Amino acid sequence: MPLRKDAAQNRRHIVEIARRYVDEGKPLQLNDVARTASIGVATVYRHFPTPEALLEAVALPALEELVRRAGQASTEPDPWTALHDFLAAAIETMLADPAVPPVFAAATTSLEHTGDLRRGLVTAFAQLLSRAHAAGVIDPAVTEADMTPLMCGIAYAAKVHNTLGPAEQAATGLRYLDLLLTGVRRP
């Protein structure tokens, strides 16, 4: 059932305020978001029962874009390029949107749509990795379970130096990804 116009506006405003909090590195406390948004606390809780649900709502546009980029990668005829392009998009997303890494790292999701997107990304990655294995362009010993923490490590390593701006972090992350992929690539 669609939201009433005023409820939809409140929801958008809450997500906008939460987006600012996340971008500024502030803790995402629902009472604080309500106060900043000048919206009743009960209204915020009605839309987002937990801070995790609100964080997922903030991350949704980036996750949806990453799913779109996974779809693009799946149409790439070269398995190596397809895998590289998807992993590069994932690194760029993790570095560009501070809401994404904790949503990926969470054991569960609060919003059904977030769960669907995460499952879609896992499936897309598995298919791209499987294609690369079948083509013989990646070490057959490399698994999804290996790549997930390595990708998180790349994002962390690129962000650890707070003196780097967003463009430098992205370039560093992509350079680290290329180094990693060079190590697992088969000629």
* pLDDT tens profile 52-93: 999 999 999 999 999 999 999 999 999 999 999 999 999 999
CATH number attached to the domain at 1-49: 1.10.10
pLDDT score recorded for residue 163? 78
Q: What pLDDT score was predicted for residue 25?
A: 92
What confidence tens digit (pLDDT) does each residue in 108-122 have?
Answer: 999 999 999 999 999
Other Cβ atoms closer than 10 A to 56? 24
Start-end of CATH 1.10.10 domains in the chain: 1-49
Instruction: Give the per-residue pLDDT at 162.
Output: 67
| pLDDT of res. 7 | 75
Q: Say how far apart CA 90 and CA 152 lie, in whole Å.
A: 10
Record the tokens describing residue 91, joined without a space. 């690194």
Answer whether residue 151 shows pLDDT above 80: yes
Q: Which residues contact 62 (CB under 8 A, 6 or more apart)?
A: 93, 96, 97, 99, 100
As a whole number of angstroms, the distance between CA 151 and CA 24 comes to: 24
Nearest to 124 by CA among 87, 96, 176, 88: 87
- Asked if pLDDT for residue 1 goes beyond 70, the answer is no
Arch. (CATH architecture) of 58-184: Orthogonal Bundle (1.10)
Per-residue pLDDT band at 2 (split at 50, 70, 90): low
Place of tokens 């948004």: 37
pLDDT at 48: 95
pLDDT higher than 70, residue 182: yes
Arithmetic mean of pLDDT over the chain: 93
Residue spans in the chain of domains classed CATH 1.10.357.10:
58-184
Tokens matching residue 7:
């409820």
Mean pLDDT, rounded, for 157-161: 86
